[in-house]
């Protein structure tokens, strides 16, 4: 499973990293390199927030203008799938993207 991210130059020494699949998952950095280095941490925080709030973790969508991609380990992909399935079965799932 691959999640794409975008890095956008906002101002001098200010770069925004965001994940289009996760509403609100974005952070500001002082360099592109720093943003790329921290991408996995931002992704994991977004997934953890979804887990805690009983929200569906979205399936990844391909982003044509992406500056990077995270290759998510299969074991973590299984956790995401199990979370989404258990929330659906319990009828507690909240989808903030729809």
Count of Cβ atoms closer than 10 Å to residue 47 Cβ = 22
| Confidence tier at 65 by pLDDT (50, 70, 90) | confident
**Using one digit for the tens of pLDDT, what is the confidence trace for 7-36?**
999 988 899 999 999 988 899 999 999 999
Q: Which residue has the higher pLDDT, 1 or 93?
A: 1
**Using one digit for the tens of pLDDT, what is the confidence trace for 81-95?**
999 998 888 876 555
Q: What does pTM read for this prediction?
A: 0.83
Q: What is the pLDDT of residue 92?
A: 61
Tokens of 93: 């799932």
pLDDT at 98 over 50: no
Contacts from 22-26 at CB under 8 Å and sequence distance 24+?
Answer: 22/46, 22/50, 22/58, 23/96, 23/97
Integer angstrom CA distances of residue 57 from 45, 63, 71, 75, 94: 12, 17, 16, 15, 10
- Torsion angle, alpha carbons of 51, 53, 56, 58, to 10: -80
Which domains, ranges and CATH numbers included, belong to the chain?
2-90 (3.30.160.250)
d(CA 20, CA 25): 8
Q: What is the pLDDT of residue 91?
A: 76
């Amino acid at each position: 499973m691959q999640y794409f991210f975008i890095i956008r130059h906002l101002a001098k020494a200010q770069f925004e990293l965001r994940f289009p699949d996760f509403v609100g998952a974005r952070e500001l950095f002082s360099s592109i390199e720093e943003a790329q280095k921290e991408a996995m941490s931002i992704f994991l925080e977004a997934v953890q927030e979804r887990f805690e709030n009983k929200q569906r973790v979205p399936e990844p969508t391909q982003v044509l203008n992406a500056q990077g991609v995270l290759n998510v380990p299969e074991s973590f992909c299984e956790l995401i799938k199990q979370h989404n399935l258990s929330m659906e079965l319990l009828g507690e799932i909240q989808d903030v993207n729809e």
